[in-house]
Chain A
């Protein structure tokens, strides 16, 4: 009895028309264990947990709990059996209080009325018990994402919780928030809970994982004990290739300055001076909220600029509309491809065509269909988007292919300066390598390239020059051999940089 795992899967598969999202996966979770699911986007991690969470039904295979076959009809069914999943998309109601969210659907009552005071008291106790510091009467919308996550987790602790599933819980958390979360996870583990933890940040999960199961293309590659493996070994299992194959070597041949930013002030940006040259990749590093993205969003006319000036190729482009800035020769690839980058119900072809019409094929009011078709094929070939995806709706493409379409859109304007904002978020390793090559080729062709990224290895391996931002200001500029992890990290929290 005690040897039977808490929960296990046997030959578990999930097929969608044309795709096998999960292919005969055997997986098991013991009580008092943190078991990490590791793999690229589209490897099947999300599919596997959606089956364990009751959100989807398997096409084949079975799930067992304490050795007994189990059929999960819905998410709430799974919750009743003690399996709770904290998805990336929270199930909170932003306009309601923390306490009301925790007790949603099971509010304590006095007669027919909700016992608000009792609910607040009980919520405060539940939060304190897990070490979450917050006022239960706060409205959820006012909380930072990390705190919202705590509320989401607190919701799990009704009844007999035995399996807690955390889907990429550290995305967009600060270091301190991650520490808090890990403390919590370790305490829950000590209390005998089984925890399934989905992540692709090895440096983080190495601190808490007992075992790691690696998935690739829907299949299980293997399960290893964390203390018997290494980062490099895990990455090779995940990507099917060595890490040195991922980043290209980009020739560094800096030419004249094209972009000069002087004393720029905007929302979240407190006076930034910056120069970008042709023929080099300028990396922008910093924490989430450091202003590295907002700086360029203000420059692009997406946020208002309050002071300062921007000159591009000798022209003053301060405070112009997005369209005018683009006409001047700057293109910006958003970090939020779903909400800001792509039209999800339209096909890849339609998404790219509109950029061609606005860009290099955009003379006069009549669409030059033949030219658009020809350039589009060229650009799709260039970004290596397979033929079969070109006429599919964006929503049906993987994150990697969506990002290729976003890259394709940016190549339609004949721009001189390319600003990549988190260009590989939610993109698998294979596609990453292709995208890095595209970025490198731009710099080598004499274009100016800015790479804004929270992914430190990405910045360190690609950028020729790194500007670190903190608190809306530039905290350091690093060149060539000065670029290394500890040098960059040191400036993440220092706002005064070299003079400090």
Chain B
């Protein structure tokens, strides 16, 4: 690979063009497919890949929210906490309401989900206001909020999972199928489609790119930069909240320890998918693939019997590697050699 010099000029420019356009993801994906199919026979099978697709739903949803924040020029370390908090709050709401309205289970589920979304929206607003209005760096703001929210989730539950949820909740949103497609997958597909439309066809989406590209220039283009930033953090939190509710249905309990690795994984998924850490650059469809890639790698490592501790090491290294490539790509875009 590294022997390619001036002699193979045209394939190199082709690789370079792909790299500038979409980032490292295609190369990583190809490498993962080759490596893991060599290491395990069970890896490259339709069943396994469908399985990976189903499992990656949750990370993809969170990553799309993370993508919004990254494109706006910030990042959100509190997504994992939002997952836990919305899980706990929606579960506790359902458990509290169930004895009062035993005949209106769907209303109980709806109110529980609503409570989960509401708490997510509050967290997102706090993040957004802190960053946009008070000028706190996104790193500190979301880190502080993550600690506060995680503490709150543990305080609410006393660290004990909230169980005895309505059975139909888990049966529908965790394990249900419509036309033989898992419900979480359908929900994710709808969200992906909506997000793609939002970022490609809508003015508020275009404004996020502008704010991340250069916030002062965006202001001088007539964009309400504060509103845009707040919107981004709220949307990110709502997607994390949705993930929390779906995961609650999947494990059939509200858990304050849920989603703890999501902040790192979602940022990794985005950066590998070519979302720039400097803001202004990133595409929905690539991020979806990025989330899929992370789960694929974890799945491959499981099949190859890599220990879960070692998996953490590799994921961290992968993230750093992706950032190094992001740096190179940015320099190429800016025309420095």
Contact = CB atoms under 8 A, between A and B. Distances in A.
A326 B203 contact: no
A320 to B, nearest CB: 12
Interface in B211-225: 213-214, 216-224
A341 B218 contact: no
A354 B215 CA distance: 12
A113 interface: no
A326 B222 contact: yes
B223 A343 contact: no
Contacts of A332: 220
Contacts of B213: 343-346, 350-351
B207 interface: yes
A301 B220 CA distance: 10
A222 interface: no
Interface of B is mostly: helix
B278 interface: yes
A358 B157 CA distance: 47
Interface string A341-380: 1111110001101110111001011110100000000000
Nearest to A393: B333
**Contact size range, A:** 35 or more
Interface string A312-323: 000000000111
A341 B217 contact: yes
B209 A366 contact: no
Contacts of A351: 213, 217
Contact of A346 (B219, B280, B330): B280
Interface string B90-103: 00000000000000
A323 B223 contact: yes
A165 B276 CA distance: 37
Contact of A365 (B202, B209, B210): B202
Contacts of B206: 353-354, 357, 367
A344 B218 contact: no
**Contact size range, B:** 20 to 34
Contact of B202 (A300, A358, A367): A367
A414 B335 CA distance: 33
Contacts of A229: none
Interface of A: 16-17, 300, 302, 321-323, 326-327, 332, 334, 339-346, 350-351, 353-355, 357-359, 362, 364-367, 369, 393, 395-396, 409, 413
B222 A358 contact: yes
A342 B219 CA distance: 11
B222 A343 contact: no
Contacts of B276: 345
Q: Report which residue of A302, A355, A369 has the largest number of chain B beta carbons within 10 angstroms of its beta carbon.
A: A355
Nearest to B276: A345
Given A354-B209, A355-B221, A339 B216 contact: yes
Given A322-B222, A355-B221, A344 B207 contact: no
B6 interface: no
B13 to A, nearest CB: 10
B204 interface: yes
B222 A359 contact: yes
Contacts of A342: 214, 217
B247 to A, nearest CB: 31
B23 to A, nearest CB: 13
A353 B210 CA distance: 10
Contacts of B313: none
A322 B220 contact: yes
Contacts of A344: 213-214, 334
Given A340-B220, A346-B280, A354-B223, A367 B201 contact: yes
A357 B335 CA distance: 27
A149 to B, nearest CB: 26
Contacts of A353: 206
A364 B216 CA distance: 24
B217 A367 contact: no
Contact of B210 (A323, A339, A343, A367): A343
Nearest to B198: A365
B267 interface: no
Given A327-B222, A366-B202, 18 more contacts: A322-B222, A323-B224, A334-B220, A339-B216, A340-B220, A341-B220, A342-B214, A345-B278, A345-B281, A346-B209, A350-B213, A354-B206, A358-B222, A365-B202, A365-B204, A369-B201, A396-B334, A413-B222
Contacts of A366: 201-203
B335 A395 contact: yes
Q: Which 6 A-B residue pairs are closest in the complex by CB-CB distance?
A: A343-B213, A396-B335, A395-B334, A358-B222, A340-B216, A343-B214
B203 A362 contact: yes
Contact of B217 (A300, A340, A362): A340
A323 B218 CA distance: 10
19 contacts: A302-B220, A322-B222, A323-B219, A323-B224, A327-B222, A332-B220, A343-B280, A345-B278, A345-B281, A345-B333, A346-B280, A353-B206, A354-B207, A354-B209, A354-B223, A367-B203, A395-B334, A396-B335, A409-B221
Contacts of A362: 203
Interface string B38-55: 000000000000000000
A160 B333 CA distance: 40
Nearest to B337: A16
A272 B291 CA distance: 57
A247 to B, nearest CB: 27
A322 B219 contact: yes
A365 B201 CA distance: 9
B280 A345 contact: yes
Given A340-B216, A350-B209, A345 B334 contact: yes
B232 to A, nearest CB: 16
A310 to B, nearest CB: 18
Contact of B221 (A16, A321, A358, A365): A358
A369 B202 CA distance: 10
A354 B201 CA distance: 12
